[in-house]
């Protein structure tokens, strides 16, 4: 048996030196190494031997099997490497298409506004999405029992702060960064805060639990309503074109006084009236006003010395208007059929 085994081994190795391509190599594998190949037949005949000789022959057979398989694999590698090298490249064939990612429509709007505001000398700040009750409401002139809290219900976190109170929530607006920025940088100050906000909404085509805003704050000495108006005019004209007009209507926001809704002539119908502006010719775009003295105080500034203007856009709303998207839920859906249109 041992003789037969070493003969087989020598024969295999000799033939291996003559192999010229992968096909003949595979034939060799079939002849010797496959289940029905010569080595397999020998291995199966081991059972007919006496116990003693079976053991010795078995060890040898296994060693040889391993050796031949290793040699075969080595040769196989060599041939497949050669083969890939020899494949001619046809440069006229169309290449494999690369899948490029692209920006989300809200990011597009955000980038556009960031360019505009940095060109006007604003800095861009980021703020925490998990905010405290204090920054999101109280410091913005909305104390615990204030009815204005009802307009902005949100998701509260089931964890106590170091004073033993449940006061963490998902921010409902980017406005809390007004306070944080004043506390950190003092005055004068010019900043925007783009970011994600959350509200506990019954979702439908116009309401979503997650959306994007952009806050703006300017603090200096002698900021007045005329500054706010001319500033919002410039922003509107940059955003929607030079013919855009602004109208300001009073609206209550607890952290500004007076508070306003800034409306621009509808960029779709140039103010003539259409479905999007509900035939009014105007689009409500921005909440704004002069910073309330209590808010300046909460920010650590003296309202007798400093004054400010603040404004807030819905980035999600702007994207809906600009791209004609009629359901807010698309933005968070991750639906490629939607996203790939931008
Ligand atoms: N935070 C307000 C909201 O979410 C928007 C807003 C209105 C921001 C007036 C302001 C402002 O800074 O002055 O409804």
Tokens of 61: 């057979």
Which residue's CA lies nearest to atom 12 of ligand 1?
311
Span from the CA of 166 to the centroid of ligand 1 (angstroms): 25
256-271 confidence digits (pLDDT tens) = 999 999 999 999 899 9
Stretch 24-47: mean pLDDT, rounded? Answer: 88
What's the mean per-residue pLDDT of the chain? Answer: 92
Q: What is the largest CA-CA distance in the chain?
A: 110
Q: Measured from the CB, is residue 312 less than 6 Å from ligand 1?
A: yes
Binding site membership of 287 for ligand 1 (Cβ less than 6 Å): yes
In the prediction, which pLDDT does 182 show? 98
At residue 30, the 3 state secondary structure works out as helix
**Average pLDDT value for residue range 45-69:** 87
Q: Of 311 and 85, which is predicted with more confidence?
A: 311
- φ, ψ of residue 201 to 5 degrees: the values are -115, 150
pLDDT band at 48 (very low <50, low <70, confident <90, very high): confident
In this prediction the pTM is: 0.73
* Residue 257 assigned ligand-binding role: yes
**Tokens encoding 179:** 């306070």
Residue 44 clears pLDDT 90, i.e. is over it: no
Residue whose CA is at the smallest distance from ligand 1 atom 4:
173
Q: How far apart are CA 246 and CA 226, in angstroms?
A: 13
Query: What pLDDT does 84 receive?
Result: 67
pLDDT at res. 236:
93
Q: Find out whether the beta carbon of 240 lies less than 6 Å from any atom of ligand 1.
A: no
- pLDDT tens digits, one per residue of 68-113: 999 999 988 887 777 666 677 788 888 888 888 899 999 999 999 9
User: What is the whole-number distance in angstroms between the Cα of residue 240 and the centre of ligand 1?
Assistant: 21
CA 270 to ligand 1 center in whole angstroms: 26
Task: Average the pLDDT over each of 32-46, 108-122, 328-342 and give the range with the smallest value.
Answer: 32-46
CA of 257 to the centre of ligand 1 (A): 12
Does the Cβ of 310 fall within 6 Å of ligand 1? yes
Annotated domain spans of the chain: 2-86, 105-339
d(CA 79, CA 184): 68
Q: How far is CA 196 from its chain centroid?
A: 12
Read off the pLDDT band of 293 (50, 70, 90): very high
**pLDDT tens digit sequence for 120-178:** 999 999 999 999 999 999 999 999 989 988 889 999 999 887 888 889 999 999 999 99
| Secondary element (H or E) of residue 42 | helix 38-45
Beta bridge partners of 196: 212
Distance of alpha carbon 308 from alpha carbon 300, whole angstroms:
13
- 294, 256 Cβ separation under 8 angstroms: no
Most confident segment among 3-7, 76-80, 270-274: 270-274
State the pLDDT at residue 51. Answer: 85
CATH architecture of 105-339: 2-Layer Sandwich (3.30)
Instruction: Tell me the percentage of the chain whose pLDDT exceeds 70.
Output: 99
In this prediction, residues 202-231 reach a mean pLDDT of: 95
Does the beta carbon of 173 sit less than 6 angstroms from any atom of ligand 1? yes
Q: Strands 123-124 and 189-198: what pairing?
A: parallel
- Please report the pLDDT score of residue 163 as a whole number: 81
């Amino acid at each position: 048996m041992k003789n037969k085994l070493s003969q087989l081994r020598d024969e295999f190795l000799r033939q291996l030196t003559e192999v010229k391509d992968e096909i003949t190599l595979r034939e060799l594998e079939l002849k010797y190494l496959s289940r029905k190949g010569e080595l397999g037949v020998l291995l199966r005949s081991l059972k007919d031997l006496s116990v003693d000789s079976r053991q010795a022959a078995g060890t040898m057979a296994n060693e040889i099997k391993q050796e031949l398989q290793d040699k075969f694999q080595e040769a196989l590698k060599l041939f497949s490497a050669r083969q890939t090298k020899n494949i001619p490249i046809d440069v006229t064939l169309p290449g494999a298409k690369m899948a490029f990612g692209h920006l989300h429509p809200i990011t597009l709007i955000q980038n556009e506004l960031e360019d505009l505001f940095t060109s006007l000398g604003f800095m861009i700040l980021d703020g925490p999405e998990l905010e405290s009750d204090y920054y999101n409401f109280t410091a913005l002139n909305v104390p615990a029992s204030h009815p204005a809290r009802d307009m902005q219900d949100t998701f509260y976190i089931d964890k106590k702060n170091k004073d033993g109170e449940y006061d963490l929530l998902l921010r409902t607006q980017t406005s809390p960064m007004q306070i944080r920025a004043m506390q950190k940088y003092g005055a004068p100050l010019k900043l925007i805060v783009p970011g994600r906000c959350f509200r506990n909404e019954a979702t439908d085509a116009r309401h979503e639990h997650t959306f994007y805003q952009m806050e703006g704050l300017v603090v200096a000495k002698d900021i007045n309503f005329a500054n706010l108006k001319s500033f919002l005019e410039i922003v509107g004209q940059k955003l929607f074109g030079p013919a855009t007009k602004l109208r300001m209507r009073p609206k209550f926001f607890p952290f500004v006084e007076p508070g306003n809704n800034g409306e621009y002539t509808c960029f779709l119908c140039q103010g003539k009236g259409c479905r999007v502006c509900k035939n009014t010719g105007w689009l409500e775009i921005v909440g704004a006003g002069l910073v309330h003295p209590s808010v300046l105080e909460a920010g650590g500034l003296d309202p007798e010395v400093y004054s400010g203007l603040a404004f807030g856009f819905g980035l999600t709303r702007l994207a809906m208007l600009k791209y004609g998207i009629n359901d807010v839920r698309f933005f968070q859906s991750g639906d490629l059929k939607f996203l790939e249109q931008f």
